[in-house]
Structure formats: C-alpha cells, structure tokens
Amino acid sequence: MNENNKFYFKMSVLLFAAFFIWHFGSSNKQGDSTVNSQKLPIKDKPAALENFVPLTLVLFKDSESILPKRNWSIAPLELQAEAAIAVKLDGSRVYYNKNINNRRPIASITKLMTAIVVLENYNLDDIVKITLKDIKREGARGDLRAGETITVRSLLSIMLVDSSNDAALALAGQKEDFIFLMNKKAQDLNLSNTKFSNPDGLDEQNNYSSAFDVSKIFSYIIHNHKEALEILKVKNIVVYSSDGEFEHRLKNTNELLGAVPEVKAGKTGYTDNAGESLTLLISDLYPNSVNNDIITVVLNSPDRFKESEKLIQWLKSAYIWN
C-alpha cells in the first residue's frame, strides 16, 4: 500500500469512528430530533480561512461527482521531496499529499510571514535607514548599503523578489516585537506546526513549518494582501533608494515564472538544513476549466523546480478538469 493510500485508509477509519460515536451517542439524548443545526458566526476569522476545511474532511470530498475527478488510470505520483502538497486555494480539496504535517525548516519561505506582519503593521511609504547590522547577515542579496534610505514598499520587493535576508532584517528591525507578531499571526491562522525565531528563515532550531501550514500562509496572502501577491508575480523589477541615489535591479528567484504557463506566483527557499523548497500559485491546468487555483508546496527537494513542474504535469493528467 503506497503512502497516499495508507493516509486515506487511516483517515477513513478516523472518520468512521467519529461518525459511530456521534450517531450512537446522540441517539440516547432526549429531544435531539429537534436540535437546531444553525451555525453560529465566527468572529474575526481571516478571509483566507473562512472556507478552509479541516484536513480530515478534505480527503473525502474527492467524489466522482465533483470536478475535477481523479483519473485512476494515472498512477500516484512519487516525489523525492521530503514533504509536499497540492491543495485547492480555498482549502476544500487536497490533490496530492506527502508528509504534509511534518515540521521542517522552510528557509526563505519564512519571508511570507514577514511580509504579512509588515503589511499589517507598517506604513508602506515610511522610510527605513539601512544599518551595518542589516547587511552583515549571511546570504546577503539585494545590494543594500549601510546608510541607504529606502521605503518599506521597496524593501518588501527586495525581500520577496530577490529573497534578500538584508531586507528582511531591515524590516523586522523597525519593531522590537516583530518575532512575537509573526508567531501571534501563526496562532491566529491556526498553524499548529509552525514557529518562527527570525524573519529571514536562516537555520535555527525554533524556525519551522509544514507543507500544509505553508499552503495556508500563502493562501492568506493571496486572499488578504494583493500587494504582496503582485510582487510575487513579478519576474524582474527595479526599485530605488528614497533619494534616487541607489538602483536595485531584481530578478525573481522563482525560475518557473514565465517558463511554466500555469505558474502565477511563488516563493523560494533554501538553506543547508531546509534543502530546496518552493511554494507556488498555479492555475489554468486545463482549457476552459474554472475555479481551479491551486497552491503547491515542496520542501527539501533535490530539485524544487523540476519536482514542482512534475507535480503540475501530474495534476493535469491525474485529474479530469472539465
């Protein structure tokens, strides 16, 4: 029995047990036949999670009457990535899963949460002065200079497009409780396998997430922070210091942008411990198919771009989209 089938079997057993307890437990209660099943509203629930179905239910929505339908003539996909997921943008269906709740370092994918905290707590037009401490961080990118002044908006672009650790540190340095805010947001989004200890994703024991949690972070950005999403869609961009003295020409670290038509946006990550990692927003898997936006995540892959493209091609053939 392959890993996917084992997972489905375990979930089937859990669901059956839950149904058994509910059915026979409720039958012993007086007056249960007239119980009002109206749902109470949930306050302050993030927009991206309003339709996010618990994973134990997601796996049983793959009905033959719901498009896309599984094409069982196509064998299950085997990826070398340590963890991976392909999930519908609203969380209502999981199309592929491998170790999706395993806690792992996620490297620069951490910067998605950094962007969320910045967008929800900063004025994008504020000016930041780059310090020597900012540019001494390992893995420097973005060509920032000590003493340079630059807007929060431009630093966001440098961080998300060029994956600059310097930009992430400069942004986080504007608030003493920045890491607390990252973890508070993780709590708010019910990310049970996520913890942050820095804003850039360099290897530290208490900086980790899971494939499933990463998909929820990216989903939250897509639904709630269009400015960040537009940055993640850009293949090349030029930004300037606030006084126009310094120019920063940026090339997106996501090599699949513009090369694979289905790829609309994404964020890369790499460290020695995290390995090659990548999350993508993909769509248009089949002509005339609608409402098929999907988030993919691969963590610790020997080749994040090849394996992500392999996953995309498998999704196109393993499911009937219209």
Residue 318 belongs to what H/E stretch? helix 304-318
6 pLDDT above the threshold of 70:
no
pLDDT reported for residue 139 = 66
Distance, C-alpha 247 to centroid of its chain: 30
pLDDT reported for residue 67 = 77
Is this structure's pTM higher than 0.85?
no
Q: How many CB atoms lie within 10 A of CB 262?
A: 20
Active site residue 37: no
From 98, 111, 267, 316, active-site residue: 111
Active site residue 111: yes
pLDDT reported for residue 137 = 77
pLDDT reported for residue 114 = 98
From 163, 164, 215, 219, active-site residue: 163
Q: What average pLDDT does the segment 302-308 reach?
A: 98
39 pLDDT above the threshold of 50:
no
Active site residue 65: no
Selected from 3.40.50.300, 3.40.710.10, 1.10.220.110, 3.30.420.40, the CATH number assigned to the domain covering 107-320 reads: 3.40.710.10
Q: What average pLDDT does the segment 252-273 reach?
A: 96
Secondary structure (3-state) at 53:
coil
pLDDT reported for residue 186 = 98
User: Which residues are within 8 A (CB) of 262 and not within 5 positions of it... i.e. 6 or more apart?
Assistant: 282, 283, 284, 285, 312, 316
Q: What average pLDDT does the segment 40-67 reach?
A: 48
- Check: CB of residue 156 under 8 Å from CB of residue 228: yes
Sheet of strand 94-98, all strands in order from the earlier edge strand to the far edge: 94-98, 83-88, 294-301, 275-282, 263-271
61 pLDDT above the threshold of 50:
no
pLDDT reported for residue 100 = 98
From 88, 108, 215, 310, active-site residue: 108
**Whole-number average pLDDT of the chain:** 85
pLDDT reported for residue 239 = 95
The more confidently predicted of residues 210 and 2 is 210
| Span 102-124, pLDDT tens digits | 999 999 999 999 999 999 999 99
184 pLDDT above the threshold of 80:
yes
Give percent of the chain above pLDDT 90. 72
| Span 69-111, pLDDT tens digits | 999 999 999 999 999 999 999 999 999 999 999 999 999 999 9
Q: How does DSSP classify residue 28?
A: T
172 pLDDT above the threshold of 70:
yes
Q: How far apart, in whole angstroms, are the C-alpha atoms of residue 322 and residue 45?
A: 32
pLDDT reported for residue 80 = 98
Q: Where are the domains of the chain?
A: 107-320
